Copies of this chain bind each other. A is one copy, B any other.
Amino acid sequence: MDVMYLDNAATTQTHPTVVECMIKSFKNEYANPSSLYDMGLTNEKMIKRAKSTLAGQIHCHPEEIIFTSGGTEGDNFLIKGIIEKQREDRLKASRIITTKIEHPAVKEIFKLYESYGIDVVWLPVKSDGFVDMDVLQKAVTPNTLLVSIIGVNNEIGTIQPLQEIGEIVKQRSPDCFFHSDYVQGFMKEPIDVKKCQLDGLTVCGHKINGPKGIGAVYLKEGKNIKPLMLGGGQENGLRSGTENIQGIVGLEAAIKIWENPDVMKKIKSLRDYVASELIKIGDVKINGPIDACPSVMSVSIKGIRGEVLLHSLEARGVYISTGSACSSHKKEKNTVLKAINLDRDYIEGTIRISFSALTSCAEVKKAVLIIKEEVEKLRAFLNR
């Protein structure tokens, strides 16, 4: 059976070109970059080159890039790193701010610190997922230590106006650390970390057809944070551990694929096609704003249960999700959909469809037909 994989916001297939680059690297670039000899130095240079490639995409200095094992490490490293750098007495008098629609990696860290008695503000969002600027303005106080806002939401694709947010944050609390989990936005929605006045940004490889187990953070020069991992002192002491050279090579190769504007152009046309076709079913809502990031779409189909549809689609080779894969372990479900105040009828019937550089028009067309058929079957069954 053909596989129509449309759950690319959960993870993507590693691109064959990325795998090719990694195979070559496995063969030649194995020496430890911390070694004193040429083979090690060559690999250190290669890592620097990859940092330049990444820095070019987000408009920072290559030395502001630190490689991690993925998005979760990046969020933990930056957020914990800022908070745990503070003296406890200062921390107890500080505020930290995030939104109600964060990825679990950010949400769980904030919940931890909230349990320690730190003042946490969970910003509400409007029905299209945007942070309310008036609420933000009031929330950011001079003692606000950290603001972390998901740049592109992983379920409904809302692209937050990070530049506008950055202005408010820095105006109200100039020393506040402004962070964004940009795992879903990286290479999909251009970003300039300097213009946005960001101090930290989290990205990862496996959402852009790169390998799993590799990610990176941008950490603004001069920002002093506590390392999550101590040891050999790699990454200027900020992230110890032998560098994952092949992961880094793979991440760089993935960036080179996505920097071709045709990739997002194709994804946008696929997204528009799916939206226009599914809306025809009737009693269907596309969640999020009209200008959401095209790589991920949230579709609510009244009268069915998303999980039932997921399994009936799976039986026909179409792979979608009902929400964040990283929430499947959690008791709390649908926090994003609740935050945008979606009707309960629609929440139950929500699926997430997401695209990558490897998604083809043919598979999407076939998948849309199958989705329509399965929705019709499920609705007919429920109305008997």
Contact = CB atoms under 8 A, between A and B. Distances in A.
Interface of A: 3, 5, 7, 10-14, 19, 23, 26-27, 30-32, 34-40, 69-73, 75-76, 103-105, 108-109, 112, 206, 211-214, 228-234, 237, 240-247, 307, 310-311, 314, 319, 321-322, 324-330
Contacts of A319: 31, 35, 37, 39
Contact of A23 (B23, B40, B206, B240): B23
A240 B105 contact: yes
B32 A242 contact: no
B229 A76 contact: yes
A36 B310 contact: yes
Contacts of A39: 3, 5, 319
A24 to B, nearest CB: 10
A245 B269 CA distance: 31
Contact of A325 (B32, B71, B104): B32
A213 B329 contact: no
B12 A328 contact: no
Contacts of A105: 229-232, 240-241
A243 B213 CA distance: 7
A310 B37 contact: yes
A338 to B, nearest CB: 18
A109 B212 CA distance: 27
B242 A325 contact: yes
Given A10-B35, A72-B231, A240-B326, 12 more contacts: A5-B30, A19-B26, A35-B325, A36-B307, A69-B213, A69-B244, A72-B240, A76-B231, A104-B232, A104-B233, A105-B232, A108-B230
Contacts of A213: 69, 213-214, 244, 246-247
Contact of A212 (B38, B242, B307): B242
- The listed residue with most B CB atoms (<10 A of its CB), out of A5, A75, A112, A233, is A233
Contacts of A19: 23, 26-27
Nearest to A232: B326
A329 B234 contact: yes
Contacts of A14: 26, 30, 246
Contacts of A40: 325
Contacts of A325: 32, 34-35, 40, 232, 242
Contact of A73 (B10, B36, B69): B69
A142 B38 CA distance: 50
A319 B39 CA distance: 9
Given A73-B241, A104-B232, A237-B329, A212 B35 contact: no
A137 to B, nearest CB: 29
Contacts of A233: 104, 108, 326, 329-330
A328 B34 contact: yes
A329 B35 CA distance: 10
A212 B245 contact: yes
